[in-house]
Structure 1
């Protein structure tokens, strides 16, 4: 990570202008030009070009393929992911906490963004064993397998009630995940139990135990 330079007396104004540029690109949509930004924000054209070049360099903006305009970049999408995930966690925290009080094991909640697993409420008493691997490889976790099953069901409709993983991340332990669906039945999140592998034998009993919470979470997470 690059070191953050010390701010001089004039730099806070430049930071404010950079945020104003990002906000205007978001409002205008892809394709807004440097000249349009300069006019709308009242910035000298040289200042607008300098800010745009810096924002492109740091991946907050990208140039359009025709090189005539700009659009929001990868870094902005990542920030939006974090903000949405935090909203989801705050909205669902009460329901997840209630379930944790009734389960002898870990309870994790993850939402799905752009076919990715985004953990939003990880059980502090049973932390994820390998968060990076879980997010990088959908096949190693019950939460990831839930998303893979949903992707397969798009071609051959077959609603998935639960998925499991046993011993692949931690020997002797495993997970069971159930889908959380919105009002339109779209998969919006996964609710996972982390337990000793022996307790996963009663799969249908575990699904019944968490089903009400999954139903409760559906409309909550659909609104964030």
Structure 2
């Protein structure tokens, strides 16, 4: 029975390459056409394979529906949390996870610093869109017309002297973030707090969440915090792989 299941499952990646006729399926599996036909009929009955008018087979609509349902049921917070805890244990600083919901970027998880100085951020609280590193990553991934429209309707509070001053500067920063694949907030929201962030991506490569490490100047300087960027990016990549179901790969370069 396990061999039958293995053969049936082997058909799916073949058809992902494009429609194939019975002969090609049989050849790829190394079985007689009657065996291949029996497997294809079973997959067809379950909606995983569809037979076209030209007698070739392609992936069925139900397979795509199941894939979409599986993606929608994934809990990014549940997947990310062990990685956030591991990062916190390595660096000792506060770690956040945030997502973009409608016109807000909201923290959905947080692991507190091991130091007495704590961040005032909390789960469920929106972040400052124009300065927060996680917000820059999530908004930078929007299509250009959406980025521009959003930037033009935002206010630009002068939290500190380093805060983003206006839409033109914000769009330029989002373009840079989109190009480099990471973001910072170096005293833009609070003079004494610095942050580095990296994106978590889904199966289509789009940014589904952003994670960050934050620390006050009394604990580490901005330059010292930036040395953690490779570790932050590796953690985000590990979450991305698990979320999208991709096999482990070599670590991203620093």
Per residue, is there more helix in 1 or in 2? Answer: 1
- Structure 2, unaligned runs of 5 or more: 1-71, 148-174, 246-254
Report the equivalent of 1:189: 209
CA distance in 1, matches of 2:197, 2:112: 18
Query: Per-residue displacement from partner, 1:48-84 (whole Å, max 9, x unpaired)?
Result: xxxxxxxxxxxxxxxxxxxxxxxxxxxxxxxxxxxx8
1:173 to 174, 193, 203: 193
Larger radius of gyration: 2
How many residues of Structure 1 are paired with residues of Structure 2 in the alignment? 140
CA distance in 2, matches of 1:204, 1:194: 10
CA distance in 2, matches of 1:217, 1:163: 17
Q: How far apart are residue 218 of structure 1 and its match?
A: 1.0
Query: Per-residue displacement from partner, 1:157-191 (whole Å, max 9, x unpaired)?
Result: 94342211122433322111111112321001111
Aligned to 2:179, the other structure's residue is in SS state: coil
Kept in 2, the 8 Å contact 1:111–1:120? The answer is yes
TM-score (norm 1): 0.51
- Structure 1, unaligned runs of 5 or more: 1-83
Aligned to 1:90, the other structure's residue is in SS state: helix
Aligned to 2:189, the other structure's residue is in SS state: coil
TM-score (norm 2): 0.45
Which residues of 2 match residues 1-224 of structure 1 at below 5 A?
87-114=75-102, 116-125=104-113, 128-130=119-121, 135=126, 137-151=128-142, 158-197=178-217, 199-202=221-224, 205-222=227-244
